[in-house]
Every structure is written in structure tokens, then in C-alpha cells.
Amino acid sequence: MVVVQVLFVLVLWQLSPGGLIPGPLRVLEALGNLLSGRLLYDSLLTSLILTFKALAYSLLLTLLFSYLSVLPFFRPAAEFIVKCRYLTLTGLIFIFTLLTRDGGALKLSLLVFGIVPFFTTSFLTVILRTPAQEFELCQTLGYGRWETLYEVIVIGKADQVFEVVRQNFAIAWMMITMVEGLNMSEGGIGTLLIKYNKYNDLSHVLALQALIFGLGLCFDYGLGQLRRWLFAYTKI
């Protein structure tokens, strides 16, 4: 049923009047041209390295503040990070430019700043939904605060940490083209998009968008399968 619906949309798109938006055949041809050259693969590698580096830093910061938020002293800091979701990057780019040493560090810091509040929001929700009985059980067994934190949150929520990463990967993947447009010296798929968009080459722009969309779906599926493999009990 899904295949039929997709084919129907593609045929309708191809037969639609007007030449401003290229049809799927022209987009497919542009995609073939991109895949036949090395520039696309170099750009994808650059973007993927930056994305996964930003995810790693964001995850470390998120886990640090989220785990410590169980202790009352650190809770205000975690709640402030959550509120940073409403800050826009547009007015802060200049500040980040002054604080970073080069374009690579600027892009990385902007990605981390954009990801961490959403990571923290998702994981704090997981922590707040933890039944009080789990903490009470650890106290009954004579565990201290740090032992309770380790057993209930660090170990007990490991699978949900992975799910948070999977859900929020889309944010990093969506932002990558924006931050790469701020500094194009290192390349990336964002640089390619801006280049083709500058010359109104919509065929290549749509081909790149389709490729980015497809890769995002593949990563989402792969992370889901990896979670089921690492934490087999989630299948139940």
C-alpha cells in the first residue's frame, strides 16, 4: 500500500504542469551525477564526522547534568539547560565566533548548544518518570546516594538513554546543513546545498535533500536495531 501511494505521488509530480520545480526524473538524474563524483562522498564524510562528534559531546554533557539533577544541589542547573530550548542561535552566532578558534570549532559548538537542551529535556523526563519505589528499594538495601544514582539511573535507564539519542539524532542531522553554511571552508553537505541553491539548481538541491532524508531514515532504523541488540529485554 505504501509503495502504491509513493508511486502515485511520483507520477502525479512528474505529470504536474509548470517547469519551476523539476520532476522526479530530473532529480534522479541529478542524484546520479552527484553519486558519480567524489565531492559528494567527501562532503558526507565531513558532515557525518561533525554530527557524531557533536552527538558525543552533547551526550556527555546531558548525562552529566541529568544524572546530577537527582541531587537537589544540581537540579537548578539542569532545569536552566532545559529552558535554553527557547534561545535562538541567530543572535548568539557572533558570541560563539568570538569564543571559538576556527570554523570547525564554531560549527561544533553551535551544534552542541542546539542539541543539549533537547537531550536534557528528554532524559530528565525519563528520570522524573522513575517510580519512587525504585529509589526506596535501594535505600532499604542500605545504598548511599551515589550507589542509588548508579543503580537506578545509570544502569537502570541505559536503554532509555540510547532511545533518547535515537530520537534526538534528527535534530543534529537537521541542523548540520545550517551550521555548515556559516563556514564553508571545510566543506560538507550544507556547503553543497548552498552552492547549488545559489545558482537555482533545484534538481541538485532536491537530490541532496532526498539523500539527506534517506540517510536520516537509515540512521534512525540502524540505531533502533542496535538498541534492541544491546538491550534485548526491550523486545518484551
Phi and psi, residue 55, nearest 5°: -65, -40
Angle between helices 202-230 and 158-180 (to 10 degrees): 160
Instruction: Tell me which CATH code domain 25-235 carries.
Output: 1.10.3720.10
Q: Read off the amino acid at residue 68.
A: L
pLDDT at 18: 61
Query: Cell 534485548 maps to which residue?
Result: 232
Please calculate the CA angle 168-56-212 and round it to the nearest 5 degrees: 50
Separation of alpha carbons 100 and 97, rounded Å:
5
Separation of alpha carbons 40 and 208, rounded Å:
9
Q: How far is CA 161 from the centre of its chain?
A: 14
Separation of alpha carbons 157 and 19, rounded Å:
52
Q: Read off the amino acid at residue 11.
A: V
Indicate the burial class of 127 (C-beta count within 10 angstroms; 0-12, 13-18, 19 or more). Answer: middle
pLDDT at 17: 64
Residues 6+ apart with CB under 8 A from 86: none
pLDDT at 71: 75
**Mean pLDDT by groups of 10 residues along the chain of 236 residues:** 78 70 82 86 89 89 82 82 82 81 84 88 82 80 79 79 82 84 79 85 87 89 85 69
How many CB atoms lie under 10 A from the CB of residue 143? Answer: 16
Q: Residue 71 is placed in which grid cell?
A: 541531587
Cβ(34)–Cβ(207) under 8 Å? yes
pLDDT at 19: 63
